[in-house]
């Protein structure tokens, strides 16, 4: 796959708790140079990123991150504030305890509430696949479809494991035609990135791909 095509699907990500503005600014500069789909940054950096990028690259941020157990009201406030601060996309972690308790009405209400708070900006629902059964994953595929969510996202990158090919295959079989897929967490090679895209993922959440492309440019392989 052409590298520019691959990079156009990357949410260039830095969500470490100790990330500095210097590192975030470098992330933005790399995203501009390599024409990524977005930068994904902590909420506290949204305003600064939006002012720095001035619409040249979309700014994505996270809500209820990384554990998902904030109340729905807090998540909605986070999403609304992020949009007000200049965020173009929202990645929201669902309440996994509610999933395990089969509190599907609460899960759906949260998805719909945060979607409204995002005010038309793309919403990606993070389901943390490494903590779910296949049955729970399938149920959530149906729920994000019913909730008219833009994306279902595999992982935060902060739990036991990240995206797998099997999960993207499973998602592709159970989401509706208007829901896209984002693979995130642990994408460690360009070959893996290409395979996720070939399986139908539209976005890749990763901090490594640009490093790998730079290495390829420097070494020729």
Task: Say if residues 60 and 38 touch (Cβ distance below 8 Å).
Answer: yes
Q: Which two tokens stand for residue 121?
A: 């900006």
Nearest Cα neighbor of 86 from 125, 129, 36, 51 is 51
* Strand ranges for 17-157 from DSSP E: 38-41, 59-63, 89-93, 123-126, 151-153
In the set 11, 91, 167, 192, the catalytic residue is: 91
Which of 75, 124, 180, 182 is the catalytic position? 182
The token pair that represents 81 in the structure block: 């504030």
- Active-site residue, 214 included: no
Catalytic annotation present for 134: no
Catalytic residue among 124, 153, 167, 180: 153
H-helix or E-strand spanning residue 206: strand 203-206
Question: Is 91 noted as a catalytic residue in this protein?
Answer: yes
Query: Could you give the residue numbers annotated as active site?
Result: 91, 153, 182
């Amino acid at each position: 796959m052409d590298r520019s095509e691959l990079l156009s699907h990357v949410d260039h990500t830095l969500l470490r708790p100790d990330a500095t503005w210097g590192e975030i600014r470098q992330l933005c500069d790399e995203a501009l140079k390599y024409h990524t789909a977005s930068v994904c940054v902590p909420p506290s950096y949204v305003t600064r990123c939006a002012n720095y990028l001035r619409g040249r690259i979309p700014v994505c941020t996270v809500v209820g991150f990384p554990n998902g157990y904030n109340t729905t009201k807090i998540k909605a406030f986070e999403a609304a504030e992020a949009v007000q601060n200049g965020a173009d996309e929202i990645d929201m972690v669902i309440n996994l305890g509610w999933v395990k308790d089969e509190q599907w009405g609460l899960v759906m209400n949260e998805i719909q509430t945060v979607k409204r708070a995002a005010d038309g900006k793309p919403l990606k629902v993070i389901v943390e696949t490494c903590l779910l059964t296949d049955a729970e994953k399938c149920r959530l595929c149906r729920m994000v479809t019913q909730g008219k969510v833009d994306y279902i996202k595999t992982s935060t990158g902060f739990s036991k494991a990240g995206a797998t090919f099997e999960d993207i295959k499973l998602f592709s079989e159970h989401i509706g035609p208007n829901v896209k897929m984002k693979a995130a967490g642990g994408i460690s090679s360009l070959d893996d990135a290409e395979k996720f895209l070939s399986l139908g993922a539209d976005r890749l959440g990763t901090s490594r791909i640009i490093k790998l492309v730079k290495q390829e440019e420097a070494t020729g392989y």
